């Protein structure tokens, strides 16, 4: 159904990456950690559940406020049940790093999507650190069984720029003998480094290498979680491609390792204004105002990719409405997300009339195409579901989105917010 305009103000949910880490780090810290702006999505609730099974006292005061009463990493207890991470890749990969510092047995599983996602990028370097890990296909797939031990520091050169890989290794290094360092081909999200420092841990950074000395202790603190820019991206694009729109999005996280979406939309000619910017906290944030814009095609590649990997589905939609051709490349990482996002984006947008083709490491989108309603499917991927919902706003005719409930993973109020802005 074609929407005439989107107008109004919204505050998006808290950042998923920061919400995960605030619970994890609070659980292994000594003392109480208070969290404000927490994202109560399915993924982050899976993280809370896992640490409660490890004996941590975690209380949700309300939907966005959480109190974690940590007693240090040595106080974690052997779980009597399997640790189920649900759909959360962040939970399973970062937990492996934390559990590397425990002397007991843990088993990690997830849903069908997690069962297909490769884990050797984490289990491999953790094994190099003297951690006992086993699992399906030589610990490349869940279920994963981990028994920590005395981790030994390593220097790991990662073949991919991945915050999850980097974070898992650094977390294993917290109690390791000596120094643990990770070098990446490009800088990935630095939420872990920022938050470790907020919890009192010394982190060294030199170029593309991050290092941590073993034997450090985390101290409970207060964490203010800004809005998730990956969630804001859907409304930034919606405001830009739907005629007569003007949307104000409040308190959006502006971490430089996450703002690639703003760079791309700016390159495409989108009208986005940054107001009320705050930099005093560990994670900067600002209000963003987006208006309907005339977009043009662009190239998205190289060092930009790690800064917007989760936003590529919605960038692809923006490109269908831009003048000219948009090329997305160097994004093979999309193949191992909740779905193979290259193929899924191409297939679902093609159903709606988009002129888009998949490549080995991205896609090519020919812009200026009118979309029409169709029967489409999120395939259980929250970001695909939200992208298709925005696409339905500019499509002529009825669009039916199957598995739309997948959006609850990161944005439970998404459809309500989208409807509230419609004119």
Residue 4 annotated as binding? no
Residue 17 annotated as binding? yes
CA distance 8 to 274: 16
Spatial CB neighbours of 413, under 8 Å, sequence gap ≥ 6: 13
Report which secondary-structure segment, H or E, holds 383. helix 382-394
CA distance 29 to 199: 8
Beta carbons of 18 and 253 less than 8 angstroms apart: yes
CA distance 50 to 55: 9
CA distance 372 to 1: 9
CA distance 417 to 423: 13
Query: Beta strands 285-291 and 246-253: pairing type?
Result: antiparallel
Residue 341 annotated as binding? yes
Report which secondary-structure segment, H or E, holds 204. strand 203-206
Residue 89 annotated as binding? yes
What torsion do the CA atoms of 220, 221, 227, 233 make, to the nearest 10 degrees? -60
Residue 383 annotated as binding? yes
- The DSSP annotation for 263-327 comes to HHHHHTT-EEEEEEEE-SSSS-EEEEEEE----B--EE-GGGGGGTGGGHHHHHHHHHTSBSEEE
Of the candidates 275, 266, 340, the one whose C-alpha atom is nearest the C-alpha of residue 304 is 266
Residue 219 annotated as binding? no
3-state secondary structure at position 320: helix
Residue 167 annotated as binding? no
Look up 310 and say whether it is catalytic: yes
CA distance 177 to 180: 8
Beta carbons of 284 and 255 less than 8 angstroms apart: yes
Annotated catalytic residue: which of 84, 190, 310, 381?
310
The phi and psi torsions of 81 (rounded to 5 degrees) equal -130, 165
Beta carbons of 308 and 315 less than 8 angstroms apart: yes
CA distance 64 to 281: 18
Residue 404 annotated as binding? no
Sort 281 into a burial class: Cβ within 10 Å, 0-12 / 13-18 / 19+.
Answer: middle
Residue 337 annotated as binding? yes
Q: Which residues are annotated as a binding site for phosphoenolpyruvate?
A: 16, 89, 117, 164, 341, 383
Q: Which residues are annotated as a binding site?
A: 16-17, 21, 89, 117, 162, 164, 310, 337, 341, 383
Q: Which residues are annotated as a binding site for 3-phosphoshikimate?
A: 16-17, 21, 162, 164, 310, 337
Catalytic residues: 310
């Amino acid at each position: 159904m074609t929407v005439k305009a989107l107008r109004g103000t919204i505050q998006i949910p808290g950042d998923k990456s920061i919400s995960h880490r605030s619970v994890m780090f609070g659980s292994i810290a000594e003392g109480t950690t208070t969290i404000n702006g927490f994202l109560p999505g399915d993924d982050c609730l899976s993280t809370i559940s896992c640490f409660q099974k490890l004996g941590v006292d975690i209380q949700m005061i309300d939907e966005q406020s959480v109190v974690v009463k940590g007693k240090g990493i040595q106080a974690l207890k052997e779980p009597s049940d399997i640790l189920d991470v649900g759909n959360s890749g962040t939970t399973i990969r970062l937990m492996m790093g934390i559990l590397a510092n425990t002397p007991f047995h843990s088993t990690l599983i997830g849903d069908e999507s997690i069962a297909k996602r490769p884990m050797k990028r984490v289990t491999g370097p953790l094994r190099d650190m003297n951690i006992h890990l086993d699992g399906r296909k030589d610990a490349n797939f869940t279920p994963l069984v981990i028994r920590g031990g005395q981790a030994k520091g390593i220097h790991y050169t990662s073949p991919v720029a991945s915050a999850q890989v980097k974070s898992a290794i650094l977390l294993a290094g917290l109690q390791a003998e000596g120094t643990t360092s990770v070098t990446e081909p490009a800088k990935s999200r630095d939420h872990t480094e920022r938050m470790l420092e907020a919890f009192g841990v010394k982190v060294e950074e030199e170029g593309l290498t991050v290092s941590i000395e073993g034997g450090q202790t985390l101290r409970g603190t207060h964490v203010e979680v800004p809005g998730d820019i990956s969630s804001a991206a859907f409304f930034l694009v919606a405001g830009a491609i739907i005629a007569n729109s003007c949307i104000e999005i409040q308190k959006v996280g502006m971490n430089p390792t996450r703002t690639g979406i703003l760079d791309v939309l700016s390159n495409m000619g989108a009208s986005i204004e940054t107001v009320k910017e705050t930099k005093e906290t560990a994670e900067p944030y600002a209000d963003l105002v987006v208006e309907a814009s005339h977009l043009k095609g662009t190239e998205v590649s190289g060092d930009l990719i790690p800064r917007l990997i989760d936003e590529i589905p919605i960038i692809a939609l923006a490109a269908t409405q831009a003048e000219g051709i948009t090329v997305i490349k160097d994004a093979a990482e999309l193949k191992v997300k909740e779905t193979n996002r290259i193929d899924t984006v191409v297939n679902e947008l093609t159903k709606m009339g988009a002129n888009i083709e998949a490549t080995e490491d991205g896609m090519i989108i020919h812009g200026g195409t009118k979309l029409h309603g169709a029967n489409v499917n999120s395939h259980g991927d929250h970001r695909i579901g939200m992208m298709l919902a925005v696409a339905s706003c500019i499509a002529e005719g009825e669009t039916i989105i199957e598995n739309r409930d997948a959006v609850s993973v990161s944005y439970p109020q998404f459809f309500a917010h989208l409807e509230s802005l419609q004119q």
